C-alpha cells in the first residue's frame, strides 16, 4: 500500500439544495481505518429517488465484500457497479416502485492513490496548485465517444437525449425504460469510467458535484471560486454553502449536491495560473458539450 496522505488533516463537507425539482441527490462518506482509506460517493436520481437510495445502500457493501478488495481495486469497482445494477433490476421486478435511475460517482483514497469511478454526469475535479484536473467525464448524449458507443448497441440520440428519453448515457437502474438495457446489454450502460492517480503535495482539494453544479460552473471556475473562499476563511463547510448559493444565483435549476475534501490544514497558497487571452461568452454546459465534441 502506498504511503498515506494526510487524511487526518482533511476537511469534508456535503451540502444539498433543491432550487426547483423533487429529484434529490445523495452522498455517502466512509472512512476505513484498517485500510487507511476514504470513500466519497454521490448519487443523483432521476424519475424518483428509489434507485439512488438502493445504490447508496448496496454499492459500498458490494465493493468492500468483494474477495479481491482492495488489491484489485479497479477491477472490483468496475464489477461492483455492474453487479449492483443487476441487483437493482431484480428488485425492480419484485417492487415496481423501485423503477427509476441514478447516476453514481465514487472517489476512493487509499494511501496516496485516488481512484474515481463515474457513471453519469456527476463530476469530480481536483485542484492541483490552482489548476483544475477533471477526474471524470460527463456521460451525456452530446459526447461523440458516447454517441458512437450508443449507436453500436442499437440506440440513438434524439434532440440531445438517449433514445429520446434520458439526458445521460450511463446510469444504474432505468430497467423499466424500453430499449435501454437487456440481458445482452443496451445503449444505457452501468459500467463506470475509471481514473487513477497518485496524489502529491501540489494537490489541494477535491470537489465532487452533481450535474446541477456543473450546469453553471466550469471545472476551472469551481476551483477558482473554492480557492478564493478557502483563502479568505479556510472553512470547507462555508465554502460549499457559498458555492451552492452562487450556483442558485447563476440560475441553477437542478438539485445540488457537493462533497469537498481538503488535503491540507493550511489554506491554498497564492499562485498565478496562466489563462488564455481569448475572450469567450459561453455557458458551462455549452463549454462541456464543446469539449466532448473536440475530445471525440
For 171-201, write each residue's pLDDT tens digit: 999 999 999 998 778 999 999 999 999 999 9
List pLDDT tens digits, range 73-83: 999 999 999 99
Beta-strand relationship, 256-262 and 11-17 = antiparallel
Comparison of pLDDT for 170 and 13, the residue scoring more: 170
Q: Is the pLDDT of residue 28 over 60?
A: yes
Would you call the peptide bond into 163 cis, given omega within 30 degrees of 0 as the criterion? no
Q: Is the pLDDT of residue 284 over 70?
A: no
For 264, other C-beta atoms within 10 Å of its C-beta total: 18
C-alpha cell at 98: 423501485
H or E stretch including 64?
helix 50-64
> Which of 21-35, 95-109, 115-129, 180-194 is modeled with the greatest confidence?
115-129
Q: Is the pLDDT of residue 152 over 60?
A: yes
The confidence band for 12, taking pLDDT boundaries of 50, 70 and 90, is low
Counts of helices then strands in the chain (DSSP H, E):
7, 13
Region 101-127: what's the mean pLDDT?
Answer: 96
Q: Is the pLDDT of residue 280 over 90?
A: no
Q: What does pLDDT average to over the chain? A: 87
User: Distance between CA 156 and CA 141 in Å, rounded?
Assistant: 9
Euclidean distance between the first and the last CA atom of the chain, given in angstroms as a whole number: 35
Q: Which of 26-40, 46-60, 151-165 has the lowest mean pLDDT?
A: 26-40
The CATH homologous superfamily for domain 7-269+282-295 is PPM-type phosphatase domain (3.60.40.10)
Region 54-66: what's the mean pLDDT?
Answer: 95
Region 128-144: what's the mean pLDDT?
Answer: 98
Residues 215, 233 contacting (CB under 8 angstroms): no
The confidence band for 1, taking pLDDT boundaries of 50, 70 and 90, is very low
Residue 21: its pLDDT value, please?
47
Q: Is the pLDDT of residue 38 over 60?
A: yes
Q: Which of 35-49, 58-72, 100-114, 217-231 has the lowest mean pLDDT?
A: 35-49
C-alpha cell at 93: 421486478
Q: Is the pLDDT of residue 105 over 80?
A: yes
Domains of the chain by residue range: 7-269+282-295
C-alpha cell at 168: 445521460
Q: Which of 40-49, 77-86, 154-163 has the lowest mean pLDDT?
A: 40-49
Region 50-57: what's the mean pLDDT?
Answer: 94
The confidence band for 37, taking pLDDT boundaries of 50, 70 and 90, is confident
258 torsion bin: left (phi>0), alpha (psi -120 to 50), beta (else)? beta
Kindly provide the residue ranges of all beta strands, DSSP E only, lying in 169-294, ordered along the sequence. 172-173, 193-198, 203-209, 256-262
- Note the pTM of the prediction, 2 decimals: 0.87
Beta-strand relationship, 256-262 and 131-134 = unpaired
Amino acid at each position: 500500500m502506498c504511503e498515506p496522505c494526510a487524511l487526518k488533516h482533511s476537511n469534508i463537507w456535503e451540502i444539498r439544495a433543491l432550487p426547483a425539482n423533487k429529484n434529490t441527490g445523495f452522498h455517502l462518506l466512509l472512512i476505513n481505518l484498517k485500510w487507511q482509506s476514504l470513500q466519497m460517493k454521490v448519487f443523483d436520481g432521476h424519475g424518483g429517488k428509489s434507485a439512488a437510495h438502493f445504490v447508496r445502500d448496496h454499492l459500498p457493501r458490494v465493493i468492500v465484500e468483494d474477495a479481491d478488495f482492495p488489491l484489485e481495486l479497479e477491477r472490483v469497482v468496475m464489477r461492483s457497479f455492474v453487479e449492483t445494477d443487476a441487483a437493482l433490476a431484480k428488485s425492480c421486478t419484485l417492487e415496481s416502485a423501485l423503477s427509476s435511475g441514478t447516476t453514481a460517482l465514487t472517489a476512493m483514497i487509499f494511501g496516496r492513490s485516488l481512484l474515481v469511478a463515474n457513471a453519469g454526469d456527476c463530476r469530480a475535479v481536483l485542484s492541483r496548485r490552482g489548476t483544475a484536473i477533471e477526474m471524470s467525464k460527463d456521460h451525456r448524449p452530446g459526447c461523440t465517444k458516447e454517441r458512437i458507443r450508443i449507436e453500436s448497441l442499437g440506440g440513438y440520440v434524439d434532440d440531445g437525449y438517449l433514445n429520446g428519453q434520458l439526458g445521460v448515457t450511463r446510469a444504474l437502474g432505468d430497467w423499466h425504460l424500453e430499449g435501454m438495457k437487456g440481458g445482452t446489454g443496451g445503449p444505457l450502460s452501468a459500467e463506470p469510467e475509471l481514473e487513477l492517480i497518485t496524489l502529491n503535495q501540489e494537490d489541494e482539494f477535491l470537489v465532487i458535484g452533481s450535474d446541477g453544479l456543473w450546469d453553471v460552473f466550469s471545472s476551472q471556475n469551481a476551483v477558482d471560486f473554492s480557492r478564493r473562499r478557502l483563502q479568505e476563511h479556510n472553512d470547507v463547510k462555508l465554502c460549499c454553502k457559498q458555492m451552492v448559493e452562487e450556483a442558485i444565483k447563476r440560475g441553477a435549476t437542478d438539485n445540488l449536491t457537493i462533497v469537498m475534501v481538503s488535503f491540507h490544514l493550511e489554506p491554498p497558497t497564492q499562485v498565478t495560473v496562466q489563462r488564455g487571452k481569448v475572450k469567450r461568452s459561453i455557458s458551462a454546459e455549452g463549454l462541456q458539450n464543446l469539449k466532448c465534441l473536440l475530445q471525440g
